[in-house]
Amino acid sequence: MNANRALRRICATLAIGACMLATVQAQKLTFTLHEHLIIGDDEEAPAEYLFYYPQVVRTDSRGNIYVKDARSADVRIFDANGRYVTTVGKRGEGPGELREVFGMHVDGDDRIIVADRMNRRLTIFTDMGRSFTTKSLEEDGRTIQPRPILSLDSSFVLKYVELFANPEGGPSIKDDRVLHTYDTDFNRLETFAQLDDIYDMDDPFLNAYSTVAGAVYVTTNGTDTIVLAPFVYGGYIYRYTRSNDKWVMEKLKGGPVPTRAFIPVSQKDIEENQDIKRGSISTSGYRARILSRSGGVAVLSTGAILHFPVRTPLKQDFEPRAELFNQNGDLVGYGQLQFDNPELNGNARVMESISIKWIDTADRLYLVRRNGEGFFVLSVANLEISSN
C-alpha cells in the first residue's frame, strides 16, 4: 500500500480517526521502499545514464525527471520510464551556458530554473531548453546561492544564508534568517526562519556548519507549509505554516535519537580512528563526528510529513530509519527503513547512503543511494508503512 493509505490505516488502528487529535501515542512502524525505477545502475550504459551524485531532482507535469549531477554544469532530462530525453545547458559563460549550478527547480509551468553561482544569474529555460531568459543573482552587490528553490502557489521559496562583509575585517557577518520568498519574476518578497531556531549558534561547529548549502533539508506542500530538517539531527524538525500573512514556526519532536547528535574531533582523531573518520564532516576549520543526521524530508499529499533520520554510531553500521508525522505535527510512528529487496538491506554501504531528493504529486519518492558496486544511482520508489 502507498504511504497515504498506510497512514489512514495506521490512524484507524490507533483509534484516532484521521490522526488529528492533539495527543497521539507514537508506535513503532516498519517503512518499506518498493523501487520501480532505477537510473544509473548499469555501468555499461551510455554516459547520460550514469551519475557521480544526483544532487538535485525534480519532475514536471508530464512525469519527466530532471537531474542535476554534482559534477555537471547542465540538467539531464529522462522520461517517466527512465529513458534519456535530452540535456539542457552546457559549461560556459555565454547565453544559455552554465558554470556552477548551485540550485535547480522545475516550476508549475515546466520551466527549468537554474541558479548559476559563477555566472551570477538565474537562467530560466522553457520548452525543454529551446529558449531561455536570465535574471541576475546579485542583490546589493552580493551573489545569493539558493539551494533549494521550491514552488509555492504564486511565488518561490529559496533557502540560503546571506553573508555580509565584516567592517572590522574579521569573519563574515551572517544574516540570521534562512528562507526567502520571491515573486514569479524573482523579486524578493520576504525573509523569515531564524537560523538559531534550527541550530545552536553558540556551538562553534554548528555555527560554522549552518551556512553550508546542505546544512538543512527543505520541502514544501507547494502552498502554505514549509518543513526544515537539519542535517545534524538532534530530534526535531521545523514546520513553517502561513497564517494571517505571517509564517508561524512549530518545532516537531521526532523519535528517539542519540543523546548527542555529534562529537567534536581533531584531525589526529580522524587519521587514527576509522570509526571516527566514517561519518565525520568538517567546515571552516571545525570537525565533528556525526552521530545522528537527517537523510531528507518530504510532505505527503495528505499533509503528513515523512522524515528519514539516520543513526550513525561509532562502532556499528549506520541505522536508516523513518518518522511519520500527522497534519497536526504529532509523531504517529517511527522505525526501521528497509527495501523489499533483501540484498539491498544486507549491504551497509547501500543502506547508509539513502537520501530523499524529491517527492512528486503521486507521493513517489525520488531517492539517491549507492548500488552494490558503490556507485550512486537515482531510485524511484513507493513507500509501504506497516505496524510491527
Instruction: Please tell me the predicted confidence (pLDDT) of residue 317.
Output: 82
In the predicted model, residues of the chain with pLDDT beneath 70 are 1-24
How many whole angstroms separate alpha carbon 215 and alpha carbon 225? 20
Instruction: Please tell me the predicted confidence (pLDDT) of residue 5.
Output: 61
Cβ 373 vs Cβ 19: under 8 Å: no
| Letter string b/e over residues 335-349, b meaning 16 or more CB atoms within 10 A of that residue's CB | bebbbeeeebbebee
- Rounded to 5°, the CA angle 158-164-167 comes to 175
Instruction: Please tell me the predicted confidence (pLDDT) of residue 285.
Output: 87
Instruction: Please tell me the predicted confidence (pLDDT) of residue 4.
Output: 59
Nearest Cα neighbor of 115 from 98, 92, 132 is 98
| Residue pLDDT, tens place only, 248-289 | 999 999 999 999 999 999 989 988 898 898 889 999 889 999
Instruction: Please tell me the predicted confidence (pLDDT) of residue 316.
Output: 82
What is the pairing mode between strands 319-325 and 138-139? unpaired
How many whole angstroms separate alpha carbon 66 and alpha carbon 68? 7
| Residue pLDDT, tens place only, 48-75 | 999 999 999 999 999 999 999 999 999 9
From the number of C-beta atoms within 10 Å of its C-beta (0-12, 13-18, 19+), residue 227 rates as: buried
Residues 6+ apart with CB under 8 A from 38: 82, 371, 377, 378, 379, 380
Instruction: Please tell me the predicted confidence (pLDDT) of residue 17.
Output: 36
Side by side, the strands of the sheet bearing 188-194 are 149-151, 156-159, 177-182, 188-194
Instruction: Please tell me the predicted confidence (pLDDT) of residue 20.
Output: 45
DSSP letter, residue 16 = -
Cα separation values, 33 from 7, 59, 306, 310, 364, Å: 15, 19, 13, 16, 10
What are the grid coordinates assigned to 36, written together?
520501480
Residues 6+ apart with CB under 8 A from 187: none
Instruction: Please tell me the predicted confidence (pLDDT) of residue 143.
Output: 87
